[in-house]
Amino acid sequence: SMLLQFFMKNPGKVLSNNTIYQFVLSLHMSEKLANFSLKPHIFNLRHKLEPNVKDGKFEILVTKRGLGYVLVDSSKEKSKTA
Protein backbone atom coordinates (compact mmCIF):
# COMPACT_ATOMS: atom_id res chain seq x y z
CA SER A 1 0.00 0.00 0.00
CA MET A 2 1.07 3.60 -0.52
CA LEU A 3 0.79 4.19 3.21
CA LEU A 4 3.26 1.42 4.05
CA GLN A 5 5.61 2.56 1.26
CA PHE A 6 5.63 6.09 2.66
CA PHE A 7 6.50 4.85 6.16
CA MET A 8 9.20 2.56 4.75
CA LYS A 9 10.80 5.49 2.91
CA ASN A 10 10.92 7.40 6.22
CA PRO A 11 11.95 4.89 8.91
CA GLY A 12 12.49 6.40 12.34
CA LYS A 13 11.00 9.74 11.28
CA VAL A 14 7.87 11.05 13.00
CA LEU A 15 5.31 11.83 10.30
CA SER A 16 2.35 14.09 11.03
CA ASN A 17 -1.13 13.08 9.96
CA ASN A 18 -1.25 15.94 7.50
CA THR A 19 2.12 15.01 5.96
CA ILE A 20 0.98 11.40 5.51
CA TYR A 21 -2.35 12.46 4.04
CA GLN A 22 -0.71 14.91 1.61
CA PHE A 23 1.66 12.22 0.34
CA VAL A 24 -0.85 9.39 0.03
CA LEU A 25 -3.73 11.37 -1.48
CA SER A 26 -2.00 14.57 -2.62
CA LEU A 27 -4.61 16.58 -0.68
CA HIS A 28 -4.24 19.36 1.84
CA MET A 29 -6.51 19.39 4.89
CA SER A 30 -6.50 20.29 8.54
CA GLU A 31 -4.53 18.11 10.96
CA LYS A 32 -7.76 17.20 12.78
CA LEU A 33 -9.51 16.03 9.61
CA ALA A 34 -6.39 14.19 8.40
CA ASN A 35 -6.18 12.40 11.76
CA PHE A 36 -9.83 11.37 11.58
CA SER A 37 -9.42 10.12 8.00
CA LEU A 38 -6.20 8.20 8.64
CA LYS A 39 -7.13 6.36 11.84
CA PRO A 40 -8.85 3.39 10.17
CA HIS A 41 -5.99 2.99 7.68
CA ILE A 42 -3.35 3.14 10.43
CA PHE A 43 -5.40 0.62 12.46
CA ASN A 44 -5.55 -1.81 9.53
CA LEU A 45 -1.86 -1.41 8.69
CA ARG A 46 -0.82 -2.01 12.31
CA HIS A 47 -2.83 -5.22 12.48
CA LYS A 48 -1.27 -6.47 9.25
CA LEU A 49 2.25 -5.69 10.51
CA GLU A 50 1.66 -7.07 14.03
CA PRO A 51 -1.28 -9.47 13.98
CA ASN A 52 -0.67 -10.91 17.46
CA VAL A 53 -0.36 -7.69 19.48
CA LYS A 54 -2.01 -7.74 22.87
CA ASP A 55 -3.34 -4.64 24.68
CA GLY A 56 -2.68 -2.37 21.69
CA LYS A 57 1.06 -2.14 22.43
CA PHE A 58 2.35 -1.86 18.88
CA GLU A 59 6.12 -1.82 18.42
CA ILE A 60 6.52 -1.32 14.67
CA LEU A 61 4.16 1.55 13.84
CA VAL A 62 4.10 3.75 16.92
CA THR A 63 1.95 6.75 17.81
CA LYS A 64 3.80 9.85 18.96
CA ARG A 65 1.01 11.68 20.76
CA GLY A 66 0.42 15.14 19.37
CA LEU A 67 3.01 14.61 16.62
CA GLY A 68 1.96 11.71 14.38
CA TYR A 69 3.26 8.22 13.69
CA VAL A 70 6.68 6.64 13.29
CA LEU A 71 7.77 3.37 11.70
CA VAL A 72 10.39 2.10 14.13
CA ASP A 73 13.72 1.60 12.39
CA SER A 74 14.55 -1.95 13.46
CA SER A 75 18.14 -1.70 12.20
CA LYS A 76 18.81 1.11 14.69
CA GLU A 77 17.01 -0.72 17.49
CA LYS A 78 19.15 -3.84 16.90
CA SER A 79 22.37 -1.83 16.93
CA LYS A 80 21.45 -0.34 20.33
CA THR A 81 21.18 -3.81 21.87
CA ALA A 82 24.33 -5.19 20.22
Distance CA 15, CA 28 (A): 15
Q: How confident is the model at residue 82 (pLDDT cuts 50, 70, 90)?
A: very low
Give the pTM.
0.77
Handedness of CA 54, 58, 50, 32 (dihedral sign): positive
Residue 36 has pLDDT above 70, yes or no: yes
Residue 9 has pLDDT above 50, yes or no: yes
Q: How confident is the model at residue 76 (pLDDT cuts 50, 70, 90)?
A: low
What pLDDT, in 10s, does the model give residues 44-61? 999 999 999 888 889 999
Give Rg (Cα) of the chain: 13
Distance CA 18, CA 35 (A): 7
